[in-house]
Amino acid sequence: MSELDWDDPNYVEKPAVPQEYSKLNDKYERSIRRDGNSRGYKGERNDNGGEGRGYRGKRDDYGGGRRDYRDNYGAGCRDSRDSGGGGGGEGFSESLSIASEMVGKVIGRGGSNVSRIQNDFNVRVKVDKYDLIVKITGNIQSNVLDAIDHVRKQVTNSGDRGRDRDSRDHVSNERHDGGGGGGGYDRSKGSSYEFNPPSSESKNDNGDLTGTIDWAALNKASIAATAARWSKCPPLTKNFYKEAPEVANLTKSEIERIREENNKITVSYVFEPKEGETAPPIPNPVWTFEQCFAEYPDMLGEITKMGFPKPSPIQSQAWPILLQGHDMIGIAQTGTGKTLAFLLPGMIHTEYQSTPRGTRGGANVLVLAPTRELALQIEMEVNKYSFRGMKAVCVYGGGDRNMQISDLERGAEIIICTPGRLNDLIMANVIDVSTITYLVLDEADRMLDMGFEPQIRKVMLDIRPDRQTIMTSATWPPGVRRLAQSYMKNPIQVCVGSLDLAATHSVKQVIKLMEDDMAKFNTITSFVKNMSDTDKIIIFCGRKVRADDLSSELTLDGFMTQCIHGNRDQMDREQAIADIKSGVVRILVATDVASRGLDIEDITHVINYDFPRNIEEYVHRVGRTGRAGRQGTSISFFTREDWGMAKELIDILQEAEQEVPDELHNMARRFKAMKDKRAAEGGGFGGRGGRFGGGRGGGGRGGGRRNFDQFQY
């Protein structure tokens, strides 16, 4: 034991190590005994057992709580060592106690401060976030002292100046015996550097770190800063609507009749107005194009060229709302004309601002879409309308970034993009979204499902707050509602049909019960062989590899087929869509990347080769056919692995007045019985989709195939 330092007021004598612990092999039983250069050793060591690695044996009471313990001459030990250790440890150690609020400051963002100290002083730094201790070790004493002093200054500079460096009598600076090249660490000799919390006087001198925050003042300052930031923006005009006399003179009963005849449209403000505010009346619906666009003959001429007989249900109500400048949430199933519902008012909004187009500094319309296919589809819709020479640019991940940047630099009034690529180009200072005055979040529910909410919120911070904002969605989940409440002002919700999930009624839905994958393949092969010349089909698969395999098999059998999924190159994906649209091929094999936003009007059949993992995707897949007033057919292969979806599928079929197979009812009953039994046992529920505990046929107690065997059909 070292000589006592009686002059040190903080010295506390450590108890002597009991004799019975002098050698580890006298204390514990060992299952394996090895000498010398052992590796992977899990028993105890005898004297001089050098260079052991991976040792996880028992610990000496004075081993400092280490993962492993080395006896004499143990080399490379990560943890505690006694005298005589050689070859890998550090010879000097200093410890510093810190306040809990200083831990992050010492570590730095991503460990940057620790790395900097280690590199600058050639030491090793360990921060114990639970015991609030910083430990610094190294071979050179002066480096260790300088490093600990550097850390001490960092933490004390945030509050009290702390203690002077001369008070190092609280730090053990001894070089441990027998350190030969980095000897051992003896915890019994270690001590810690005490950190005194800042006094109240020093807090007043250096800023109140613990006082009450004046949130009201901070909010007021934030509002003032935001107002100053956007005060220099050019003026914004939103209302471009002149209501036709026959529309303005509609009675309440006539308005209700028109909305009822247009697929039961419901219209309302989503949120209650703030106290003291009164919401303006909701515009009446229209039933002809002239009632909306009579003031804009160029736009009316473009619409007439398309040959549409009348506005679709959502267009009849959305156009008056958007042309008046309201924020709007449009909820309708796919194939109901949502894209034109927001595009045409956006073009008028852009053209008729008081500031000339060429002096605004950037685009005015920004459309966010969840997938590149939907983004390209929207771009195609824009390009159909040659309104006042407006240009649209589509930017998305997987495309040629340099070419997209060149297109943006040439100028465009409308930007259509996916969230990831948009944020990339904003960070690169290619796109300035501060000029955006008309923002569209298309398929907002899908974007949230795909995890794009952080990117969306980030973009919103840089767009002027008085913009006009539009959301479209096929459903109204809590996430979409939350986003609307955060970023929209008094939005009007236009809902076509029911808010409950439902498939389009223009599609005949057929359910085929299948035994296994071979039965699926034989059925699809037979169907393809009997296709008529006018048939065009999309086959949906659950996995990319399945889509590739099925496409290859059909091609080898002599059927012209294209395939699309997330792993295919963008050029291949675009070519696949072009081929199915032009009729070069009449069979498209796809994953759910094509379940939304893919607008191919003459698809006659949708086949769910693999039933989707949730009922929402089923509805969107079915919506790929029966579009633009046409009729379509969906055929779904349903296996015992899909029985967890039977009840929800029955609800969708019954709502659309479709035939429900008896076996589907049996599956639903048996699955419910299995659920009840598993719940009584306290376990999860098997079945596909992961909703009830397991994944595909698994999960819970005894999940997987056992569930099917116990509840045979």
* Residues 128-146, mean pLDDT to the nearest whole number: 86
Residue 155 has pLDDT above 50, yes or no: yes
Q: What is the pLDDT of residues 467-479, one digit of tens each?
A: 999 999 887 888 8
292: left (phi over 0), alpha (psi -120 to 50) or beta: alpha
- pLDDT, tens digit (0-9, with 9 covering 90-100), for 340-351: 999 999 999 999
Render the burial of 631-668: b for 16+ CB within 10 Å, e for the rest: ebbbbbbbbbbbbbbbbbbbbbbeebebebbeebeebb
pLDDT tens track for 255-306? 999 999 988 899 999 988 877 788 899 999 999 999 999 999 999 998 988 8
Q: Would you say residue 98 has pLDDT above 50?
A: yes
* Separation between Cα atoms, residue 524 and residue 415, nearest integer Å: 40
Average pLDDT (426-450) is 93
The owner of tokens 């589509």 is 394
Per the model's pLDDT, the better-predicted residue between 264 and 511 turns out to be: 511
Eight-class DSSP state of 196 = P
Confidence label for 536 from pLDDT (cuts 50, 70 and 90)? very high
Tokens of 653: 């079929």
pLDDT of residue 548: 94
Residue 510 has pLDDT above 60, yes or no: yes
Question: Is domain 19-189 given the CATH code 3.30.1370.10 in the classification?
Answer: yes
| Mean pLDDT, residues 591-595 taken together | 82
Res 626: pLDDT: 85
Mean pLDDT of 244-251: 94
Could you read off the pLDDT of 109-120 as tens digits, one per residue?
778 888 889 888
> Which residues, 6+ apart, have CB-to-CB distance to 89 below 8 Å?
77, 81, 137, 182, 183, 184, 185
**What's the first-to-final CA gap in the chain, in angstroms?**
79
CATH assignment, 507-638: 3.40.50.300
Write out the DSSP string of 595-625: SSS---TT--EEEESS--SSHHHHHHHHTTS
| pLDDT at residue number 288 | 94
pLDDT at 597: 64
Of the listed ranges 11-15, 320-324, 455-459, 463-467, the one predicted with least confidence:
11-15
**Listed ranges 163-172, 182-191, 446-455; the one with the highest mean pLDDT:** 446-455
Place 661 in a pLDDT band, splitting at 50, 70 and 90: very high
Contacts of 39 (CB under 8 A, 6+ apart): 51, 52, 53, 54
Q: Give the confidence band of 36 by pLDDT, cuts at 50, 70, 90.
A: very low
pLDDT digits (tens, 9 = 90+) for 366-412: 999 998 889 998 999 999 888 888 999 999 988 899 999 999 999 99
User: Would you state the pLDDT for residue 495?
Assistant: 92
Residue 511 is inside which H or E element, if any?
A: strand 507-513
Check pLDDT > 60 for residue 51: no
Sheet containing strand 605-608, edge to edge, reads 507-513, 632-638, 605-608, 537-540, 587-590, 561-564
E strand intervals along 324-413: 328-331, 365-368, 392-395
pLDDT in the model for residue 500: 62
User: Which letter, b or e, does each residue of 225-256 get, where b requires 16 or more Cβ atoms within 10 Å of its Cβ?
Assistant: eeeeeeeebeebebebbebbeebeebeeeebe
**pLDDT value at residue 539:** 96
Q: Residue 204 above 60 pLDDT?
A: no
Which run of H or of E encompasses 530?
none
**CA–CA gap between residue 700 and residue 694 (Å, rounded):** 6
Residue 599: name the closest of 621, 627, 576 by CA: 627
List, for residues 679-703, the tens digit of each pLDDT value. Answer: 888 755 444 444 444 444 444 434 4
Going across the sheet that includes 92-97, the strands are 92-97, 133-138, 124-128
By CB atoms closer than 10 A (0-12, 13-18, 19+), residue 532 is: exposed
Q: Is the pLDDT of residue 193 over 90?
A: no
Task: Name the residue type at position 581.
Answer: K
Task: Work out the pLDDT band at 501, boundaries 50, 70, 90.
Answer: low
pLDDT at 499: 63
Q: What is the share, in percent, of the chain residues with pLDDT greater than 70? A: 74
220: three-class secondary structure by DSSP? helix
Any idea where the domains of the chain sit in the sequence? 19-189, 245-495, 507-638
pLDDT at 259: 93
pLDDT tier, 2 (very low <50, low <70, confident <90, very high otherwise): very low
- Residue 504's pLDDT band, with cuts at 50, 70 and 90, is confident
Q: Which residues of 429-443 are buried (b: 16+ CB within 10 A; e: fewer)?
A: eebebebbbbbbbbb
Count of other CB atoms within 10 angstroms of residue 276: 5
Q: How far is residue 335's CA from residue 333's CA, in Å, rounded to a whole number?
A: 6
Share of the chain above pLDDT 90, in %: 42
What is the pairing mode between strands 328-331 and 414-417? Answer: unpaired
pLDDT tens digits, one per residue of 62-76 = 444 444 434 433 333
Query: Does CATH place domain 245-495 in 3.40.50.300?
Result: yes
Inter-helix orientation angle 141-156/112-121, to 10°: 150
Tokens matching residue 473? 């969605």
pLDDT tops 50 at residue 46: no
Residue 20: pLDDT over 90? no
Is the Cβ–Cβ distance between 423 and 463 less than 8 Å?
no
CA separation for the pair 608, 541 (Å, rounded): 7
CA separation (Å) from 679 to 159, 403, 415, 675, 700?
A: 56, 57, 51, 6, 9
CA–CA separation, 649 vs 642, rounded Å? 10
Q: Average pLDDT, stretch 130-142?
A: 87
- Mean of all residue pLDDT scores within the chain: 78
Q: Averaged over 667-678, what is the pLDDT?
A: 90
Question: Cα–Cα distance between 365 and 194 in angstroms, integer?
Answer: 60
